[in-house]
Chain A
Amino acid sequence: EAAVTQSPRNKVAVTGGKVTLSCNQTNNHNNMYWYRQDTGHGLRLIHYSYGAGSTEKGDIPDGYKASRPSQENFSLILELATPSQTSVYFCASGVDWGDGAEQFFGPGTRLTVL
């Protein structure tokens, strides 16, 4: 079954540490996205990708890097984690139907930075 999976599902990190969140999709979609969700803000776009080797900045990219080594995998990297990056992170794959775009979401990763 086509799906978007994320790992880890939960992560506790220390301030200043490096954190890598991973996302894998079997939808064979070109586009992939990383969001964070905080109370009162809905989901906000951090980085996205058009395909292997491509990464683009979203609306709130500061403090985050992304890597798309293959069609299936898209990682979000926090080089120096800070408590303000405590959040729930969602990955999605996306398809352009021509009349609009649809995204399919993973289960989320809860990150706590102490």
Chain B
Amino acid sequence: GMPVEQNPPALSLYEGADSGLRCNFSTTMKSVQWFQQNHRGRLITLFYLAQGTKENGRLKSTFNSKERYSTLHIKDAQLEDSGTYFCAAEEAGGSGNKLIFGTGTLLSVKP
């Protein structure tokens, strides 16, 4: 299977709702980054994690290398949260500090 599986492929939320995105890894990953791609196409880094949980405002991310997954939780969704969210992970034992990207979750926040 794909080294990085990202779910769901698409998600629709109303303003104020909470939800979560998930990436499952087929192999052990060393670290993970979460990105938001906005309407202009720019990739904005949300989190870098080598372990554990980080929070930033309404966003929270967890990375569990042993159980091979990472999650991104969005609380109190706002219109500006709309966009495509990608996780990207570095394989443990890999070379070149390369990232493997998931195929993204297209998030639409509605008023």
Interface residue ranges, A against B (CB under 8 Å):
31, 33, 35, 40-45, 48, 50, 56, 58, 88, 90, 94, 96-97, 99-105, 107-108, 110
- From residue A1, how far is it (CB to closest CB) to chain B in Å? 15
Chain B residues close to A by CB (< 8 Å)? 30-33, 35, 40-43, 45, 48-51, 86, 88, 90, 96-99, 101-104
Main secondary structure of the interface of B (DSSP, over half): strand
What DSSP secondary structure best describes chain A's contact surface?
A: strand
Contact call A41/B103, Cβ cutoff below 8 A = yes
**Chain A residue with Cβ nearest B104:** A42
Choice from A35, A42, A101 contacting B97 with Cβ under 8 Å: A101
A42 and B33 in contact, given A100-B48, A108-B41 (Cβ under 8 angstroms): no
Q: How far is the CB of B56 from chain A (nearest CB, A)?
A: 15
Question: What are 13 sample pairs from A and B whose C-beta atoms fall under 8 A apart?
Answer: A31-B97, A40-B103, A56-B96, A97-B50, A99-B51, A100-B49, A101-B97, A102-B33, A103-B88, A105-B35, A105-B43, A108-B42, A108-B43
Most buried by A among B40, B50, B99: B99
B96 touches A43 (CB 8 A): no
Q: Is the CB of A48 within 8 A of B98?
A: yes
User: Are A107 and B86 in contact (CB-based, < 8 A)?
Assistant: no
A88 to B99, CA, bound (A): 18
Instruction: Please give the distance in Å from B92's CB to the nearest CB on chain A.
Output: 9
